[in-house]
Structure 1
Amino acid sequence: MADTVVGQALSRVDARLKVTGAATYAAEHRFEGLLYGVIVNSTAARGTVSAIDVDAARAHPGVVRVLTDFSSLTLAHSVSELVFYGQPIALVLASTLEAATHGASLVEATYNRQEVMTDFNSSSATSVTAPSNPDYSRGDPEAAFRSAPHKVDLDFTISRENHNPIELPSTIARWEGDRLTLWDKSQWVQGAARTVAGALGIPVGNVRVLSEFVGGGFGSAIRAYDHVTLAAFAAREAGKPVKVVLTRRQFYYGTGYRPASRQRLALGANAAGRVDSLLYEVRTETCRYDEYEEGMTDLPKFLYGVPNTSTKYQITAIDAQSPSSMRGPGVVTSAFALETAMDQLAHDLRVDPIELRLRNEPTRDEVTKLPFSTRKLRECFETGARRFGWSRRDATPRSRTEGDLLIGMGMATASYHNNRRDVGSRARIDADGTATVATATSDMGPGTTTSVMQVAADALGLPAGKVTFRLGDSTYPTAPPHAGATTMASVGSATFTSCNALRNKFIAMAVADTASPLHGADPAQVTAGDGYLRLGDDDSTKDSYREILSRADLPSLEATATWGPGTIDTRVSTYGYGAVFAEVSVDPLLGLVRIRRIFAAYDVGRVISPKLAHSQAIGGMVGGIGMALLEGTYTDHRDGRIVNASLADYLVPVNADVPELDATFINTEDPQADPIGVKGLGEITIVGVPAAIGNAVFNATGKRLTDLPILLEALL
């Protein structure tokens, strides 16, 4: 029998389609009579539109309609008043993109402006406790901190970050009678269907959302934002298909962002390096029409065994659009504070940073009091330190130089909750012996179509080339958002379940069929491999899927199943873990930080597809470099305008910023977490990276920086 498909370092099954341009993304579908829609954005962040002049736009050649009345729509925010800068106030439809774009520039609006507050650090800002993150305390953290002989107490600021995937938010809407089809860039096609149906006041069953290929997301396409609903609304009004694609500048106003944050993290420890108290306070920005919050307090109260711990999380509403999840939401932010404070404590105590963390390893989850399903963090430290060459690090800042450059090493711990949700999956084998598995998930880049195919192939006993995984269609079996490192554990487990059910159907047919070589066999003794069902390992007693279907005169056989985590999380604490190591150079005259290399070791359970897993790790590291050194969204607080809403002004890592990056995996199955033994990988790979870089900068310079991104002037 052939080796398993799971564990093979396969290339993406859709790689050739993507590199040759044959993959069709949302904006690339073509329809007769297609109209192009361009949104006109408000230039006021708060108030109302007192007048809007669209005559010049309507008169422009090629312009078909100018829509300004959205009162029939139910959006996430008010449509009668302005609640953020860039809010849509009109939609111009034209026969060409050029005509629609110029027509939109001709729309003139005047406003009744109200006083605007877009700075969440303003003294006039009002903060409230995050509704889903109430204050938490165990022990007596304040008293323990006061009496601690060694203390670290640091404040942190992190700038707002915007998603910048290559594919822009794009939607094509087409009506056929009362039924709507949307070709949309989406990380959650069924969520988009519900949002649009609710906004238009139509049954959700009348909306189909298709999103086979997604050109990057990072969380920006989890929600269906205004442009999706407006495309559907405009197509209904015009009676023709409508395409709406946001510009890069509109991207910054039309979707969410990682919220800016302010954090305080204080640690109290004894002389032996045992952390006895942890105080964590955080505040993030949100909008007035939504209370967006993130998992900011998860890591500080969980990661280390600190008996006296408190966390407080507040949100501050400003006049802006709602934040949204961005890779590692909440956790990468709080990890920067926690892991920076731990590094400072290690320095103060003259203890190796890894040793300090090992001295504070918990024996159980201190929040839930549950045992860990697996926690191979020690192995991550050991493997990462050996591969990275951590023993060569000099703990004394500014002790290593190369010419005029200061060289430093830093490390940080990474962790992320193993999210799993209920998923439905449908598996089918056709008369030619090929299989198709379908669920309504998406794939924004990690290679879901490949990795889930690998799970299906092994469950059915088929070669990889005989199995196709279909996704990105809201009519497929139910799936959660393609986000939160949820997909492999959830969709993979559901696929495993449906394929097992299908295989068992075939086994039942074979053992009941007098014409089958397996007739009368014990179903429990029948195995699957290479497209055949066998009696144990007996290659002489076998039957194929094709022959079973042929004898039954069936074109195909299918099975549908649902898998969910059920009560697993009430019995064990299941997280992924990692150790991240970074080396930097710093030019003390220019304040310029360069990443020289990053290496990480991860415990994420069973690795289904090593090549794709490594790619995920590299991508997360690149995102962490951006967060640490480059990325920050800046607002003109006079009116709420984002002043660097372009890739010319908003800095993201490019080739010159990305050095040698590598990762390894402690490949240990987690059978308690889910049937396929995996833990989420997509989010954890950014967690800890900014902290490791910041700690390396400290080792190089002796300057403890607590603001991100790290700016040149902070090092001069």
Structure 2
Amino acid sequence: MGEPVARVDARAKLTGSARYAAEHPTPGLVYGVVVDSAIARGRITALHVEDALAVPGVLEILSHRNRPRMRKLGLFYKDMTAPAGSPFKPFHDERILYSGQPIALVLAESFEAARYAASLVRVDIDAQPHETHLLSHLKRAHEPSRLKAGFSPPPKEKGEAQAAFDAAPVRIDSEFHAGVEHHNPMEMHATTVLRGEDGHLTIHDKTQGSQNCRWLVSRVFGLPRHRVTVKNAFVGGAFGSGLRPQYNLVLAVMAALRLERSVRVVLTRPQMFSFGHRPETWQRVRLAADMDGRLRSVLHEAVAETSRLEDYAEVVVNWSGQLYACDNVKLDYRLVALDHPSPCDMRAPGAAHGMHALEVAMDELAHALAMDPLALRLKNFAERDGATGLPYSTKALKACYEQGAARFGWRDRPQAPRSMKQGDELIGWGMATGQWDAMQMFARAHAELRADGSLIVSSAASDIGTGTYTVMAQIAAATMGLPMERVLFRLGDSTLPVAPVEGGSSHVATVGSAVQGVCEKLQKTLLRFAHALPDSPFAKARFKDLRFRGGAMEWVDADTGAVRASVPLATLLAAAEVERVEERYLMLPNLLRQKRYTRATHSAVFCEVRVDEALGIARVTRVVSAVAAGRIMNTRLASSQVMGGVVWGISQALHEETHTDHHLGRFMNRSLSEYHVAANADIHDIDVLFVEEDDRIVSPRLGAKGVGEIGIVSVAAAVSNAIFHATGRRLRSTPMTPDKIMAPGPDWAAGDSAVGIPLVPR
């Protein structure tokens, strides 16, 4: 474990033999194309489908008027969805809740016929006034529902934050705005429902949890569990968009039941903007300190959008009460319901916004104090969780600071902005701190060791491109002492042992621990076989003295380390006269022990930016990301995960934003040509390093934490801080596009209206 093993699924993906949700062929497949609403709010008064039905090959057009009966829809969506909440119910009734809402499904013998017919569907809608502008409705913000599962509301005020702020000699008061972002994975959301002759539905869906989707289909449509199998063997990226079952799944199953045929529904790229997004967020951060840099007060408030359907909530401000030592902290988080689809989790939900505002404000405070930004963070380093007083399970953040700064060359940074220039470009160096939760859930695993020395381990886990196939096989191989090529890990099938959705950077600590646990059960069974051997050399061997390597079981002397006895695993199975040995294991986290600690991953991000003021172009030319995430199971894959997070952080900082026409209430740049993401030319040197850490609280078996989210956290803040160091101009709204860099005066959040967004009334 820890070795940079190459992906076991790489060849399948590179050669095209890996099949994704929309790539499973079957005879007589029916194609579905979704018709969506161009109105943001209203009621459907009529659907005109005659012309569409007249297209050759069109079989049916489903809508709220003729959909199949769905059982206990409200109960499922309210209480059982993962993540919890009240998601949109497709074709539930005649109400239009947001622009882009699916209102009909055209079904045809060919995709071309379905697509053409969909263009002929006409709908009459009684339009009603809509609201989509967050900044115009901040005053009607409300507290999130306390019943929202998985949401931790801000803790109660600690000390006297406002009084301490007013009395402090150095104060920072800043407002921040972040626009809507969309996930935009390469693979569009798609569902292929293969209907067997016996009526069994085998469903290939783009999802981060096959069992989550199977539960939905079974529950909502009243189908017995044994009649539904959901598979997601390969997923072309998701980033949180596949945590909930999306409406393409419901529509495809609906059509398959109605027609009693196999059906495929694939969303278009514009339709990928019709569900879920990172919510638009406004924040205000106030920091106060003594002249020596000691924090006296932290006040952080945030207002984010949600939908009319539910209170989608994120942990945005809580980090500001945890990360730094301060006796006076006040945090507030509220929501504004708008006529948009519900936001949904997007890589590092909440932290990507909340940590950004905090870390930019900390940089502002450091500048006001004429203090090095890293020195300010070390001055206020929190050994314990500032909100709860609990110790951290592990916190190697100081090592991240030290090693990241040394790798970057931070000590050579001049204090004053606009101090470095090369040619027409100003050069700036910025840094920021990252923190994300370290979680472990429960999971089951099954293992089968065969007489030929091969091992098959199974769990209904997912691999959304993160390397789950590889890391789980690696854990199993290392535990059993087998070469990687003799180990197969099976995932992406709802019939396999239970596993959580892949999200929250928890899969390795959770499923990986289950894999190691089931392999250890196999080892104990093999020891019993060894004890039963005639004149067994293992007769007095204890389990703790065993070592598995090279396809054999060894008894190692506890004092000298010498091998006292060795036997091939295949020999043990042959002696026991069995073709295979099977074990099952349930991994349950020790919640009572975990609750005594705050469990988190940490990072320190150092960034170099070059800014051409004449053109308003900022280039991120160098990034060092130092991460503390427990034991690293595979340095190659973990580095790739963090590197991908850094790329996205740069994209968040400089490129990504979904624009809304508030007159239409509609997202407008719904394509990869208009929704800008970082391209290869935007990315330069990224250096990832992992500091030594071993967390036996988060995962007692492995000592591991997750790396999926921490890679993106605070990268945009480091970019923002570097832009300030280069130019002397503070940008507090993302993305930091050329028009904002070139705009005269301070950024809009400091009171300038040149950017086109008014200062929010306090």
Amino acid of the residue matched to residue 657 of structure 1? D
In the alignment, which residue of structure 1 is the partner of 2:716? Answer: 690
Moved more, 123-132 or 426-435: 123-132
Q: Aligned AA for 1:625? A: I
Q: Is 1:237 paired with 2:248?
A: no
1:122 to 136, 143, 157: 136
- Trace 1:395-406 onto structure 2 (pairs within 5 A): 395-406=415-426
Distance 2:201 2:537 in 1: 50
Say which of 680, 696, 702 aligns to 1:655. Answer: 680
When structure 1 is superposed on structure 2, of 309-318 and 501-510 the one drifting more is: 501-510
Compared CA separation, residues 348 and 124, structure 1 to 2 (3 A) = closer
Give the Cα–Cα distance (whole angstroms) in 2 for the partners of residues 673 and 435 of structure 1: 27
1:624: Cα distance to partner? Answer: 0.3
Paired with 1:310 and 1:242, the residues of 2 have a C-alpha distance of 53
Range moving further from structure 2, 506-515 or 376-385: 506-515
Amino acid at match of 2:574: S
Looking at structure 2, the residues matched to 419 and 616 of structure 1 have their Cα atoms a distance apart, in angstroms, of: 17
For residue 641 of structure 1, report the CA deviation from its aligned partner: 1.7
Deviations 1:403-441 (A, max 9, x none): 111110000001111011111111111121111111111
What is the aligned-residue RMSD (CA, Å)? 1.6
The residue type equivalent to 1:612 in the other structure is L
- TM-score, normalization: structure 1? 0.97
Residues 383-416 of structure 1: CA distance to partner in whole angstroms, max 9, x if unpaired?
1111111122112111111111111000000111
What are the superposed Cα offsets for residues 508-536 of structure 1, whole Å, 9 maximum, x if unpaired? 12212337553454344332111111221
Residues 350-389 of structure 1 aligned to structure 2 (within 5 Å)? 350-389=370-409
- For residue 560 of structure 1, what is the aligned residue in structure 2? 584
SS at match of 1:27: coil
Aligned partner of residue 248 in structure 2, secondary structure: helix
Distance 1:45 1:215 in 2: 30
Matched, 1:542 2:566: yes
Among 65, 69, 72, which residue is 1:72 paired with? 69
Aligned partners of 1:511 and 1:522 also within 8 Å: no
Determine the C-alpha separation between the residues in 2 that align with 1:343 and 1:379: 20
Out of 620, 623, 632, the residue aligned to residue 598 of structure 1 is: 623
Cα displacement (A) at 1:56: 1.2
Q: Answer whether contact 2:318 2:331 (CA < 8 A) is retained.
A: no
Aligned residues: 710
More displaced stretch, 521-530 vs 227-236: 521-530
1:482 offset after TM fit, Å? 0.5
CA contact (8 A) 1:605 1:669 kept: yes
Whole-angstrom CA distance in 1 between matches of 2:112 and 2:522? 52
Worse-matched range after superposition: 607-616 or 111-120: 111-120
Q: For 1:275-327, what per-residue CA distance to the aligned partner results, in whole angstroms no more than 9, with x for missing partners?
A: 11100100111111121111112311111111111111001111111111111
CA contact (8 A) 1:512 1:520 kept: no
Matches within 5 A, 1:624-663: 624-663=649-688
**Contact kept? 2:232, 2:462, Cα under 8 Å:** yes
TM-score normalized with structure 2 length: 0.91
> Amino acid of the residue matched to residue 589 of structure 2?
P
Structure 1 contact 125–318 (Cα < 8 Å) conserved: no
Work out the CA distance in 2 between the residues paired with 1:135 and 1:361. Answer: 20
Q: Which residue of 1 is the match for residue 614 of structure 2? A: 589
The equivalent of 2:204 in structure 1 is 183
Q: Is the Cα–Cα contact under 8 Å of residues 488 and 680 in structure 1 kept in the other structure?
A: yes
Q: For the Cα contact (< 8 Å) 1:577–1:684, is it kept in 2?
A: yes
Give me the whole-angstrom Cα distance separating, in 1, the residues matched to 2:324 and 2:383: 9
Quick one: distance in 1 between partners of 2:319 and 2:335?
18
Specify the code of the residue in structure 1 equivalent to 2:69.
Answer: S
For residues 211 and 157 of structure 2, what CA distance do their matches in structure 1 show? 38
Matched, 1:413 2:433: yes
Residues 34-65 of structure 1 deviation map (CA, whole Å, 9 limit, x = unaligned): 11111111122212111111111111122122
Determine the C-alpha separation between the residues in 2 that align with 1:50 and 1:380: 60
Give, in angstroms, the shift of residue 586 of structure 1.
0.8
Q: Deviations over 1:200-243 (max 9, x none)?
A: 23344532110011111111111111111110110111111101
Greater alpha carbon shift after TM alignment, 216-225 vs 682-691: 216-225
Q: Distance in 1 between matches of 2:261 and 2:303?
A: 46
Note closer, same or farther for the CA distance 1:175–1:497 as it changes in structure 2 (3 Å cut). Answer: same
Report if aligned partners of 1:631, 1:651 keep a CA contact under 8 Å in 2.
Answer: yes
Residue 638 of structure 1 and its aligned partner are, at CA, apart by 2.2
Q: 1:619 aligns with which of 644, 656, 659?
A: 644
User: Which of these residues, 39, 60, 81, is aligned with residue 34 of structure 2?
Assistant: 39
Partner Cα distance (1:538, 1:428) in 2: 30
Matched to 2:237, the amino acid is: G
Give distance in 1, aligned partners of 2:727 and 2:476.
51
State the secondary structure of the residue aligned to 1:162.
coil
User: Are residues 1:52 and 2:47 paired?
Assistant: yes
Structure 2 counterpart of 1:562, one-letter code? L
Residue 143 (structure 2) pairs with residue 98 (structure 1)? no
Alpha-carbon distance between aligned partners in 2 of 1:652 and 1:341, rounded to the nearest angstrom: 26
**What is the aligned partner in structure 2 of residue 444 from structure 1?**
464
- State which drifts further: 603-612 or 168-177: 168-177
- Give the letter aligned to residue 463 of structure 1: P
Q: Contact 2:68–2:258 (CA<8 Å) still a contact in 1?
A: no
The equivalent of 1:3 in structure 2 is none
Query: How far does residue 673 in structure 1 lie from its aligned partner after superposition?
Result: 2.1
Deviation digits for residues 591-626 of structure 1 (CA, Å, limit 9, x no counterpart)? 111111111111111111001111111100010011
Output the CA distance in 1 between the equivalents of 2:123 and 2:47.
4
Distance in 2, matches of 1:424 and 1:70, equals 37
> Greater shift after overlay, 635-644 or 336-345?
635-644
Is the 1:48–1:113 contact (alpha carbons within 8 Å) kept by the matching residues of 2?
Answer: yes
Matched, 1:430 2:450: yes
Cα separation, 2, equivalents of 1:317 and 1:40: 25
Q: Please tell me whether the aligned partners of residues 188 and 442 of structure 1 are also in contact (alpha carbons under 8 angstroms).
A: yes
Match of 2:504 in 1: 484
**What do the CA deviations read for 1:617-652 (whole angstroms, capped 9, x no partner)?**
110001001110100011112232211000011000
CA contact (8 A) 1:196 1:224 kept: no
Contact 1:140/1:308 (<8 A) preserved: yes
SS across alignment from 2:133: coil
**Any conservation in 2 of the 1:508–1:523 contact (CA below 8 Å)?**
no
What is the deviation of 1:672?
2.4
Instruction: State yes or no: 1:18 paired with 2:39.
Output: no
Distance 1:117 1:554, change over 3 A: same
Q: Is the 8 A contact 1:168 1:247 kept in 2?
A: yes
Q: For the Cα contact (< 8 Å) 2:155–2:318, is it kept in 1? A: no
**Aligned 8 A contact 1:568 1:673 in 2:** no
**Residues 456-476 of structure 1, C-alpha deviations (whole Å, 9 max, x = no match):** 112112122211111111111
What is the aligned partner in structure 2 of residue 670 from structure 1?
695
Change (3 A) 1:119 1:515: farther
CA drift of 1:126 comes to 3.3
Name the % identity.
Answer: 40
Question: Where does residue 252 of structure 1 map in the other structure?
Answer: 273
| Contact kept? 1:516, 1:543, Cα under 8 Å | no
Rounded to whole Å, the distance in 1 between the matches of 2:26 and 2:534 is: 53
Distance in 2 (CA, whole Å) between partners of 1:521 and 1:601 is: 43
- Conservation of the 8 A alpha-carbon contact between 2:594 and 2:697: no
Match of 2:736 in 1: 710
Cα distance change on mapping 1:638 and 1:417 into 2, 3 Å: same
Amino acid in the other structure paired with 1:326: M
Aligned-partner Cα distance in 2 for 1:339–1:140? 22
Inter-partner Cα distance in structure 2 for 1:114 and 1:540:
81
Q: Is the 8 A contact 1:174 1:232 kept in 2?
A: no
Aligned equivalents of 1:385, 1:524: Cα separation in 2: 41
CA separation of 1:564/1:276 partners in 2, compared to 1, >3 Å: closer, same or farther? farther
Unaligned runs of 5+ in 2: 78-86, 146-150, 743-762
- 2:271 is paired with a residue whose SS is helix
Q: 2:289 aligns to what?
A: 269
CA distance in 1, matches of 2:534, 2:541: 11
Name the SS of the counterpart of 2:142 in structure 1: strand
Q: Which runs of 4+ in 1 moved over 6 A?
A: none
